[in-house]
Structures are given as structure tokens and as C-alpha cells.
């Protein structure tokens, strides 16, 4: 009986390791560590009739610690990759909505006011004046939920920039906006030219 359980456990560990560690997920690495520890305990139980000593407990903890420590660098990489994907998606949303606003308002980009775009977050009239949605203010809102946050900083503040693409990031950490052209970029050094 123990042989079949141990064989199934080994196959399960290989399947979890191949599927989840390729995606760099910490819970998957913990599962692999737990499965490896379970295999050790099953083989121990088969040999000694479930005698579990302090040394066995230390070995199980060490197996889980080593497996987790190997996976930790992958977790940081996965987090950065996820933030990068969200950043690029939020950037695409902002750019699309700015272009929609420009189409609806004769090519004029939205104005930056106190770190945000009232003309994108509220309904507007043909001249771009924000107001309550209705017959007098038929356009928008383009971003009814507000300006999306930069996922690296959690900040949605928009800062004006004199040039585009921007030459340097600011300490604010949200978005950089060139009001003359209506172009926007993330306020993060490695993404300024995107």
C-alpha cells in the first residue's frame, strides 16, 4: 500500500513542480516542499511504523525551508512581471480614453487639473466643461472609476511634463502627461519611453 501512495506522491510533486514553478508561484513551491516532506514521512512510516522523532521533524522543516528559499527569487520576478502587465494595461486604457476624448472634442486633449483629469472622470459638453451626465453634458465620462493607479506605486496622480517622451521620472510616482499633445507615460524610469 505504501509503495503505491509514495509513487503517486512523487508523480504529484513532479506535476506540481512542472506546472506551477514554471509560472513562478510561491504557493506552488510551498506545495512542492510539503509534498516532498510528505514523501519523506511516508517512507519513514513504511520503515519504522510511524515513529516520528525530533530529527525527523527537523528534516521536514529543512526540506520545506530549502524549497521555499529556492522559490523566493521567482516570487519577486513574478511580482514585477505582474505589475508590469498591469502598468501596460492601465497605460493602454489611459491612452485609449484620452484619444476618445480628443475625438469627441474636436482634437483637444483633456486638461490636467490638480493631478487628475476632471474631463475624463466626469461627463462633459462639446467644449469640454465637466458637469452632470445629461443632455447638456452628453460626452463621457471616459474613466468613470477614476484614473487607474500605477501598480508599482499605487498612485494615480498625474504630473505635467514639458517634453514627450519624458526625460526623467518624478518623485510623485503616478503618471506623466504632456498636455499639449495629450500623451501620457508611466512615472517610472524604465517605462518613460513606452
Q: Are 47 and 95 members of one domain?
A: no
Claim to verify: residue 72 and residue 93 sit in the same structural domain: no
Question: Rounded to two decimals, what is the model's pTM?
Answer: 0.65
Residue range 158-178, pLDDT digits in tens: 999 999 999 999 989 899 999
Range of the domain at 125: 86-191
Report DSSP state, residue 135.
S
Mean pLDDT of the chain: 81
70 and 91 in a common domain: no
Crossing angle, helix 26-48 and helix 2-20, to 10 degrees? 170
pLDDT digits (tens, 9 = 90+) for 91-138: 999 999 999 999 999 999 999 999 999 999 999 999 999 999 999 999
Is residue 48 domain-shared with residue 120, that is, in the same domain?
no
75 and 152 belong to one structural domain = no
**Euclidean distance between CA atoms 130 and 99, whole angstroms:** 17
65 and 9 in a common domain:
yes
Is the same domain home to 75 and 97?
no
**Number of C-alpha atoms within 13 angstroms, CB side, residue 160?**
9
DSSP β-ladder status, 175-178 and 158-160? parallel
Question: In this structure, are 187 and 100 located in the same domain?
Answer: yes
Amino acid at each position: 500500500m505504501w509503495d503505491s501512495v509514495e509513487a503517486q506522491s512523487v508523480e504529484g510533486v513532479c506535476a506540481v513542480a512542472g506546472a506551477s514553478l514554471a509560472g513562478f508561484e510561491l504557493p506552488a513551491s510551498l506545495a512542492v516542499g510539503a509534498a516532498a516532506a510528505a514523501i519523506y514521512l511516508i517512507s519513514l512510516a513504511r520503515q519504522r511504523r510511524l515513529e516520528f522523532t525530533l530529527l525527523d521533524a527537523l528534516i521536514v522543516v529543512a526540506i520545506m525551508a530549502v524549497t521555499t528559499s529556492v522559490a523566493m527569487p521567482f516570487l519577486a520576478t513574478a511580482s514585477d512581471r505582474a505589475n508590469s502587465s498591469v502598468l501596460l494595461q492601465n497605460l493602454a486604457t489611459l491612452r485609449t480614453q484620452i484619444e476618445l476624448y480628443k475625438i469627441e472634442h474636436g482634437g483637444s486633449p483633456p486638461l490636467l487639473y490638480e493631478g487628475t483629469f476632471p474631463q475624463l472622470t466626469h461627463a462633459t459638453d462639446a467644449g469640454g466643461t465637466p458637469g452632470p451626465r445629461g443632455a447638456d453634458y452628453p460626452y463621457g465620462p471616459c474613466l468613470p472609476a477614476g484614473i487607474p493607479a500605477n501598480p508599482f506605486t499605487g498612485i494615480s496622480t498625474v504630473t505635467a511634463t514639458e517634453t514627450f517622451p519624458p526625460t526623467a521620472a518624478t518623485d510623485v510616482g503616478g503618471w506623466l502627461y504632456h498636455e499639449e499633445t495629450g500623451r501620457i507615460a508611466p512615472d517610472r524610469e524604465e517605462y518613460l519611453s513606452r
